[in-house]
Each structure stands twice: as C-alpha cells, then as structure tokens.
Amino acid sequence: MPVHPVKEFVRRISSKDLDEYPNWDLSRPLPKLPVPDLHATLTMYLKLVEPVVSEEKYANTARIVQEFIRPGGVGEQLQKQLVETAKTKDNWVSDWWLDDMYLCNPLPLPVNSNPGLVFRAQVSKANGSSCVERVRHHRKGQPLCMEQYYRLFSSYRRPGTEKDQQILNMNRDPFDPEYVIVACNDQFYVMNVMTSGKELLSEEDIYNQLRRISKDANSCSNPPRLGVLTSERRKQWAVAREQLCQDAKNKANLDLIERSCFILCLDKPIDASFNHEASTEQTSSGVRDDTNRSLQLLHGMGSKHNGANRWYDKTMQFVVSADGNTGLNYEHSVSEGIAVIKLIEHILAYMEEMKTKRLRRFPSICDLPHPQKLEWHIDKQTEAHIQSGLEEIDKLVDDLDLYILRFDMFGREYPKTVNMSPDSFVQLALQLAHYKVHKYLVPTYESASIRRFHLGRVDVIHAASMAALQWVKAMEGDVKTTNEQKLKLLREAIEHQTEHMLKTILGHGVDNHMLGLRVTAESVMGKLPDLFTDPVYVECNQFRLSTSQVSTTTDALICYGAVVPNGYGAAYNLHTDSIVVCISCWRDCPNPDISALRYGEALRQAFEDMHEMIQANVELAKINTVSTESKIPEENLATTKENGESDSAEKQQ
C-alpha cells in the first residue's frame, strides 16, 4: 500500500524541524485555549473603543461596562458559566466563532468570503496532479494545530436557509481523494487522477485528459450555467440546491462535487481592459495588470466571462486561464490563508523541480477512461435561479473596486533597522492612510492566529488605538509637533500595537472572549445584556478597515472584498525590499471619499512620510523604550521570532 503524500502533508513534522527543536514533545496534545480574565478583557475593550467613537458614546459605554463587571453582576455570572463550558470542550470558542464568522453569514461567497490568490503570471499546462502527488510541510518555531490542513482536500460548504454546513467526507479516508472536478466552458467533469491500481497519473497524462475535456466542453454552444448558483446569497442557493436535489441524477452530481479533492477551472482569456483602467505604469498597453488578473480570481469577471465556470462551495478551486493567468479561489471557513499559502508554495516549487525530471507515462492515453461529464436535469424553476444568479454576479462585479499597490522604496527589512515590528509598522501606515483620506480612525480588524492552541483559528488585533490617533494627528499637522516628537509618538503606537498583538496570539484577545460571553448570555439568560445591545458594540464589530498580512516567498497576490459597505479591505504581502497591498472597497457606497485608488495613493504617501521622518533622525528612531521580547513567555519566543505564520500578524523578522 503506497504512502500518500497528502497524509504526509498533514501528519508529519519534518525531521529537520525535530533536529532544530529537540525539546518538542509531539506526544503531548496542544494546550486548550484559555478563557481570558473578565476585567482584563473589558478594560482592553474600552481602550479599543475610545479612538473610534465620540466622547459621549464612550462615556455611556464605560458606564455599561462598569455595570457589567460589578461584583456579583451579570458579567461574573456569565464568566463563571463560560469557564465551566470551556472545561467540557476541546476549544470553547471554535464552533461559535465558525458560525459567527462564516456559516451564519448570508452573503455570497465570492469577494465577501472567498479570497482570491493570484500566482505569478505564467503560461503552462494545467496541472491537476501537483496537489496529491507529493506534498510535504516544513514548520519552524513550535508545534501548531494542523486541523486546517486536514480539511483542505476533504471539506465542502453546503448552503442552508438559516446556516451553512461544513461537510467532511468521512465515508472513506478523507486524505485519499481519487478524482477532481474540472470546470470548462461552464460544464463540470469528473477526472480521475489515479489509475485503477491506485497509481498517480503523471502530469503529462493529466494534461492529455484536460485536452479531452476542453475539446468536449467547447463543442457545446449553450451549456447550462449551473455554477453561478454557488455565487448567490446563501439562502437563495440553498433553495435552488433543494430544487436540484429533487432529481436523483442532479443529487448524485452534487454528491460527486462534494466528495472531490478540489475544483480545477479552465478559464477563457480575459481582455486587459476589463472593468477598470489598466495601470500603464505596471504593464504595457494591452497586457493584463495585477488588478485585472486578481479580479478574475475573485469572481470570474461575471456572466460575460468565467463567472459561471466556478463552484465556490468547494474548499480548493484552482483557476488556469488560457492566457496564462493562474491562481486559486478558496472557501475560507475551512482554513486561514497561511495553510493554503504553505500548500501552494510547495506545489509551485514542486512544479519547478519537475521541469528537470523525466515524467512517468501511463502505458497509453487510450487506456485511460474519458473524464465523466456531469449531465443535469434543469427545470424552469432552476433556469430562473440561474438567470437570477447571472444578474447578481454581474452586480457584484460592477460594485467591486480593487487597486493593487506595489511599493518598492523599502520592504519588511527596513522597520527592523530601527527596531520596529514590520507588521506593526504597516498597520500604523494603514491607520495614517485612512486618516489622510477621512480625518478619523475606524474599527480595524487584523487576523491573529491562535493555532498554538488545539483547534485554534484566529482572534482580532485592533490597530486603531489612542496612541495611533495621537500619532496620525501629529503626522498630519493637526497637532503642532517636532519630528522628534512624531518619532516618539510612532514608537509608542508601535509598542502598543505589538503588545496587543502578542496578548492576542497568546490567547488573551478581546473579540473571541466577548463572543463567548454573548453566546453564553443568549443561552443562559435568553436575552442580551446592555453591553451587547450598546450601539458602540455593534459599531465596533463593523470593521471598516479589514486587514491581513499574508506573506509569500513568491510574487503572489491575495485579495478579498471589504466586509462592510462603507469600508476597505487591505491584504498585504511583505517582501524583503517591497510591500504589496491589495485594496478593495465598494463603488456603490454613499461616501464619495471611499475609493480603492485614493486610499492606495494615501498609503503610498504614508509609507514615504514615515520613511522621511525616520531618516531625519535614525538614531532616535532606533530607541526601543519597552522590550517586546521580555513580555513573551519563553515557550513562545521561538514562534514569535521565526514563525512564518504571516497572516497571523506574528511575523517579526
């Protein structure tokens, strides 16, 4: 029985890592996520609220908090119940978080939930075998929860009218998928990637199978555009799916898609000028730029292009365009970006490695069965659902405003030269850019990995702080200050951001704790305390600046949509000597000042202003008044220094 590489990918820690960290005891389970102290959480909550609300609102919220945490009050009762609940669960917040963040979210998956990942532009043969042929994983720092990796090739998000379901294929070994679904010209095919003897096919044989699919799919002039249904609002898709399942053949097709390893989308080429003015600084006229390529990965460019050549419910959806654009659209409820990035970078490295090796060949392509085309029985009700889906995806395409900033004056190494965390440095730049455009700060989300705990996903780092507000006001001249004073204010804001980040990744964040208290209140009391009905609590959970650091070793882009109508999304990639930021917002926003381009140019100026300020007094900028490392428990020191988990805001190097 051969050892399958996907098993190795999710079950092995490399011997190299064990040599570097011999004190790891892999027989011990990861620790359980702690329940933070009630008073510490609510004290921090007030600090997070203060810079983004009026003084009047803040005073009212402070009064509500004091009432909530008074001795013998509602807060203590809920905290006690939450602690008891935590004793009975592997991770007290994971299920609540998953429902709140994803499964109860009614919005369409593309742009709103599913990120797009764009690989470096290349023209190559579509390669569907890389994900299952040989995947290994190398970690540094400390053991982390690998649950997200387990699910990448075995999960599916099924729509529901009230709440979606995560489906994990347990009928057979979930790490041994034998086929993928190929989407081509809006049609779907089952393509085996193993022989009947459980041998993996070579890349060349898979390529030939894909040619068969392409020839067959393109011979059909008017296929049913069923894939667009997965791009609808979740309730609408759930209703349409239920209608499809009334037919046994349709239900069998849906089951095949659910149980597949992943989706491979063979796309039609896209015009370079689609949906936006191409950046002539970035590319030559007529050549697709970063923004154009990213839009294809986010939503397929709508009904006129590849908007229906998708199946957004499947966790891993690779996209290969005839013009060489390649990438991934992934369903986010299963995994954070870092797990996906690690897999993709291994695949890309493996593809480079295989260029120099002789490929195995199946004895004859004629001996391989033709890929199976999924035939659907479409009634008039389903046709109406499809037409509605095509109209809705076009509205989404028209509404999304995306801008890719490539900043090459410096990269992640520059903040280190003045003893500043690169991630905190960028977060402060994002705050300054927002203040430049809007003259105020907003609730800001940055994902913080808590995978050092069993079943840990993420908590939230809030970059909008009073220290940040004082600094951006000084930078913009609202408060008269010297350059030295601006540097000191920046240092204070950096240190506040870094300390908040460390507390959060070590399990003492605010948002998950308050979610746990809120859900516990609903369960125990049947109603919500004033703390959770306070308009400020609602406002501070509407993240008008949603950010995430997802660093890659390759020139890849990751992007997603803003999470509220009047906000921005900002995914940033820190390279050694450059910074890439994918900025999004919505065109159909009542605030005319909200623009991806305008915010992007303000961010460019923010980076330049920070550089100019530091260069004016480098020695002063280097002075670190508070030692960050002294605050980190020894067992976590290696992770913070060497961790590659960059979407968790842990990357300090």
Provide the pLDDT for residue 515: 99
Output the domain CATH number for residue 428. 3.30.559.10
Q: CA–CA separation, 651 vs 423, rounded Å? A: 7
Span 185-225, pLDDT tens digits: 999 999 998 877 777 787 788 889 999 999 999 998 889 99
Same domain, residue pair 373 and 435? no
Element (H, E) at 250: helix 248-259
Is 101 a domain residue?
Answer: no
Provide the pLDDT for residue 8: 37
Output the domain CATH number for residue 110. 3.30.559.70
CB contact at 8 A, 426 and 413:
no
CA–centroid distance for 194 within its chain = 31
Q: Which two tokens stand for residue 266?
A: 């063979």
Give yes or no for residue 168 having a pLDDT over 90.
no
Coil/strand/helix, residue 166 = strand
Q: What is the mean pLDDT of the chain?
A: 85
Span 65-82, pLDDT tens digits: 999 999 999 999 999 999
* Global pTM exceeds 0.85: yes
Is 338 a domain residue?
Answer: yes
Span 278-301, pLDDT tens digits: 444 554 455 678 999 999 999 999
Provide the pLDDT for residue 355: 67
Name the phi and psi angles at 187, rounded to 5.
Answer: -115, 160
Give yes or no for residue 108 having a pLDDT over 80.
yes
Catalytic site residue 332? yes
Give yes or no for residue 144 having a pLDDT over 70.
no
Coil/strand/helix, residue 229 = helix
Provide the pLDDT for residue 11: 36
Same domain, residue pair 394 and 413? no
- Rounded to an integer, the average pLDDT of 501-508 is 96
Coil/strand/helix, residue 53 = coil
Is 25 a domain residue?
Answer: no
425 vs 121 pLDDT, higher one: 425
Lowest mean pLDDT among 26-30, 248-252, 261-265: 26-30
User: Concatenated DSSP letters for 518-566?
Assistant: HHHHHHHTSS--HHHHSHHHHHHTS-SEEEEE---SSS-EEE---SSTT
Residue 160: which of 228, 97, 105 has the closest Cα? 105
Lowest mean pLDDT among 15-19, 141-145, 561-565: 15-19
Give 460's strand partners.
Answer: 447
- Rounded to an integer, the average pLDDT of 469-492 is 96
Give 265's strand partners.
Answer: 183, 319
Is 141 a domain residue?
Answer: no
Strand 568-574 versus strand 545-549 pairing type: parallel
Lowest mean pLDDT among 16-30, 382-396, 427-441, 507-521: 16-30
Provide the pLDDT for residue 634: 31
Same domain, residue pair 119 and 261? yes
Where in the sequence is the domain holding 47, given as residue range(s)? 31-89+408-648
Q: CA–CA separation, 326 vs 557, rounded Å? A: 11
Look at residues 398, 421, 446 and tell me which one is the last residue of a structural domain: 398
CB contact at 8 A, 382 and 201:
no
Give yes or no for residue 270 having a pLDDT over 90.
no
Instruction: Using a pLDDT cut of 70, give the percent of the chain over it.
Output: 81
Same domain, residue pair 386 and 462? no
Provide the pLDDT for residue 637: 30
Same domain, residue pair 130 and 234? yes
Element (H, E) at 568: strand 568-574
Is 36 a domain residue?
Answer: yes
CB contact at 8 A, 647 and 447:
yes
Is 130 a domain residue?
Answer: yes
Give yes or no for residue 254 having a pLDDT over 70.
yes
CA-to-CA separations, 333 to 97, 115, 157, in angstroms, rounded: 10, 11, 8
Span 30-47, pLDDT tens digits: 899 999 999 999 999 999
Count Cβ neighbours within 10 Å for each residue of 428-441 and write b for 16 or more, e otherwise.
bbbbbbbbbbeeeb
CA–centroid distance for 181 within its chain = 23
Look at residues 341, 376, 398 and tell me which one is the last residue of a structural domain: 398
- Rounded to an integer, the average pLDDT of 377-390 is 97
- Name the active-site residue from 137, 332, 434, 513: 332
Same domain, residue pair 157 and 237? yes
CB contact at 8 A, 93 and 511:
no
* Residues with Cβ within 8 Å of residue 245, at least 6 apart in sequence: 251, 254
- Rounded to an integer, the average pLDDT of 416-443 is 97
Same domain, residue pair 432 and 509? yes
Same domain, residue pair 575 and 527? yes
Alpha helices in 368-479 (DSSP H): 380-399, 413-417, 422-438, 466-475
Count Cβ neighbours within 10 Å for each residue of 393-403 and write b for 16 or more, e otherwise.
bbebbeebbbb
Same domain, residue pair 370 and 493? no
Strand order across the beta sheet in which 326-330 lies = 372-373, 187-192, 179-184, 263-267, 316-321, 326-330, 116-118, 557-559
Confidence of residue 366 (pLDDT cuts 50, 70, 90): low
Is 377 a domain residue?
Answer: yes
* Residues with Cβ within 8 Å of residue 383, at least 6 apart in sequence: none
Confidence of residue 143 (pLDDT cuts 50, 70, 90): low
Lowest mean pLDDT among 18-22, 31-35, 294-298, 310-314: 18-22
Q: What is the DSSP secondary structure assignment for residue 201, as one 8-state letter?
A: P
How many separate domains does the chain show?
2
Span 86-107, pLDDT tens digits: 999 999 999 999 999 999 999 9
Look at residues 398, 418, 452 and tell me which one is the last residue of a structural domain: 398
Same domain, residue pair 368 and 424? no
Same domain, residue pair 386 and 412? no
Same domain, residue pair 493 and 619? yes
Is 17 a domain residue?
Answer: no
Q: CA–CA separation, 483 vs 527, rounded Å? A: 51
Provide the pLDDT for residue 551: 86
Coil/strand/helix, residue 152 = coil
